[in-house]
Structure 1
Amino acid sequence: MLDLSDPRLVPARPEIADIRLRGRVDAARYVVGEARSVVVPAAPLTRAPRFDAGLETEAVMGDAVTFYGADEGFAFVQLAHDGYVGYLPEAALGPVGGPTHRVTALRSFLYPGPDLKLPATGYLTLGARVQVQDSVGDFHRLATGGFVFAGHCTAADVLEPDYAGTAERLVGTPYLWGGRTSLGLDCSGLVQLCLALAGIAAPRDADQQERGLGEPLAPDVDGLRRGDVVFWRGHVGLMLDATRLIHANGHHMAVAVEPLAEAVARIREKSFGPVTSIRRLNPSAAS
């Protein structure tokens, strides 16, 4: 049964809802969702069917979604990997594919042909999943169109278990509220992306991650280690070792590394208050 406790994860709006919610929520009509896939490099997911509605999160190429309906160019969807609900540009969706490869470079350009001298038509972000039809020289031909440099990809099932190390690769990436690509990240987007590349499913927002990830440590723990996750009310970061934190944050407006003690003092005084918990992930959660 669908959980109605978190509105961010409930596929229902006054005009349309998942048929499984009939009798539990009010909607003008109830529909059976259809499986679709994101076929553009990245697309904004908004709370309302307007581009000015504010960025909730982003979907990237290869993300699976459940499609409920479209109106005036926007599709009402639920993202498969974290359950987030909202509106994507309808043009961002296509038929379900079978991703064969994943992008491992921070960004890789798309080309109209297998030639680096051709004008790029777009880019793919770290973690985007693509379906490779065949290879021509040093390039993969994609089922969605275009070519990507083969050296920037790996098989879709190859993992990057050092998720703190993945976060280090993203140092300097600009802060973007709702961002989930290597062009811009927010705090929980950074954590979700890095864990996904390690094969660990994570919710989208910091409060959801605090409830759903790992096991809590004692609040006075002095044995922090690489990969521990530190939470504030509305913020999250990863430990690189016993003393250093990496996080996407509005103070630096970027993914940055700083001593945990400095971050704790500043955040307590200026923004999110005290640390609410520290959680340790079980390495066996990767699959």
Structure 2
Amino acid sequence: MTFDRRITPFRADLADEKLRGHVEAERFSTGTKKRVTASVASLHRHPSREAPVDTQAIRGESVTVYDEHEGWAWVQLHDDGYVGYLPGAALSEPGPEPTHRVGAIRTFIYPGPNLKLPNEGFLTLNTKLAVTGIEGEYARLAGGGYVFAAHLTDLDFAETDYVSIAERLEHTPYLWGGKSSVGLDCSGLAQTVLTAAGIKSPRDSDMQEKLLGAAVEVKPDLSGLRRGDLVFWKGHVGLMRDGASLIHATGHSMTVYVEPLAVAEKRIRETSYGPISSVKRLR
């Protein structure tokens, strides 16, 4: 059997108990459930801040911890299955189950229900929170802190137009591995907006291309596409804003950027990414 290292909790010395009989490892473990408490934490390929960042975890995400050593935790994220190393300080015991989700692009945590108090950090879109009560215009969080309640939605609320969320994220800086409103890469943008719309999405563009939606014919003149279609190249993805323009997180502008699809297609085709590989329609 072959396994994708990105989503397979396997090392030569340790593997998930579910892989017993499929891989050889010195020991197997069912792991321990924990929850991300940092606003955003980078998931590294190796236990080092200098190691490549494959993705990020955001507050409220559940993880399975298989190993902890010298301040690093080897984990699998529950939402998209990604495996890697998080700083141990970014995690805590699971605590109360989340009740709400951040629906704003970004919001702040305050020590009390007052906007004039010094904030204690930010929370990004899709952050999951356990709310224990409402005080005036603010939601009180389990574990402490307050968030402006109008910036929250019910946990199961789904946006009806995921492209509108991408539009709200326009000009967000490009960040390899990023999936917060502070920085996004191309597949991080797609996953983030689909998650906000209640659509489960894999993390990387090759996974998204394989698993999401139904194929749409790519015509030579690029006609026939519509808002919400996902356009894929080898290693890249963007969302159609309308029949002619694309919104994507791109290293070309180092931002979430809107441009004519024809312009993007020509430029990208002339790079190592090559021509459009497919278009997928979700709805």
Deviation of the 1:81 alpha carbon: 1.1
2 CA distance for matches of 1:4 and 1:117? 55
Q: Residue 204 in 1 paired to residue 207 in 2?
A: no
2:11 aligned residue: 13
1 CA distance for matches of 2:13 and 2:49? 19
Give CA-to-partner distance per residue, 1:130-166, whole Å, 9 cap, x none.
Answer: 0001122211111132111112111111111201111
Which runs of structure 2 are paired with 1:190-269 in the superposition (5 Å)? 190-220=189-219, 222-269=223-270
Which runs of structure 2 are paired with 1:1-287 in the superposition (5 Å)? 4-96=2-94, 97-220=96-219, 222-282=223-283
Q: Is the 8 A contact 1:132 1:142 kept in 2?
A: yes
Deviation of the 1:271 alpha carbon: 4.1
Deviation of the 1:117 alpha carbon: 1.3
Give CA-to-partner distance per residue, 1:249-279, whole Å, 9 cap, x none.
Answer: 0001000000000000001113411000001
Q: Is the 8 A contact 1:173 1:255 kept in 2?
A: yes
Deviation of the 1:25 alpha carbon: 1.9
Q: Which amino acid aligns with 1:43?
A: A
2 CA distance for matches of 1:64 and 1:201? 15
Q: Aligned with 2:237: secondary structure?
A: strand
1 CA distance for matches of 2:119 and 2:12? 41
Give CA-to-partner distance per residue, 1:185-225, whole Å, 9 cap, x none.
Answer: 00000000000011101110011111010011122262111
| Structure 2 segments unaligned to the other structure (5+ residues) | none
Return 209-218 or 186-195, whichever deviates more: 209-218
1 CA distance for matches of 2:17 and 2:162? 37
Q: Which amino acid aligns with 1:14?
A: A
Change (3 A) 1:111 1:253: same
Return 75-84 or 16-25, whichever deviates more: 16-25
2 CA distance for matches of 1:43 and 1:15? 25
Give CA-to-partner distance per residue, 1:16-64, whole Å, 9 cap, x none.
Answer: 2111222322323211122221122111111111111121111111111
Q: Which amino acid aligns with 1:196?
A: T
Q: Which amino acid aligns with 1:101?
A: H
Q: Which amino acid aligns with 2:118?
A: P
Q: Aligned with 2:190: secondary structure?
A: helix
Q: Is the 8 A contact 1:39 1:144 kept in 2?
A: no
1 CA distance for matches of 2:23 and 2:46? 18
Q: Percent identity?
A: 54
Q: Which amino acid aligns with 1:10?
A: T
2 CA distance for matches of 1:65 and 1:144? 19
Return 24-33 or 101-110, whichever deviates more: 24-33
Return 149-158 or 166-175, whichever deviates more: 149-158
Q: Which amino acid aligns with 2:51?
A: A
Q: Aligned with 2:117: secondary structure?
A: coil
Deviation of the 1:176 alpha carbon: 0.1
Q: Aligned with 1:160: secondary structure?
A: coil
RMSD over aligned Cα atoms:
1.3
Query: TM-score, structure 1 length as denominator?
Result: 0.94
Q: Aligned with 1:168: secondary structure?
A: helix
Return 141-150 or 261-270, whichever deviates more: 141-150
Deviation of the 1:4 alpha carbon: 4.4
Q: Aligned with 2:66: secondary structure?
A: strand
1 CA distance for matches of 2:272 and 2:23? 36
Tell me the number of residue pairs that the alignment of Structure 1 and Structure 2 aligns.
280
Q: Which amino acid aligns with 1:207?
A: D
1 CA distance for matches of 2:166 and 2:13? 40
| Structure 1 segments unaligned to the other structure (5+ residues) | 283-287
Q: Aligned with 1:127: secondary structure?
A: coil
Q: Aligned with 1:52: secondary structure?
A: coil
Q: Is the 8 A contact 1:248 1:255 kept in 2?
A: yes
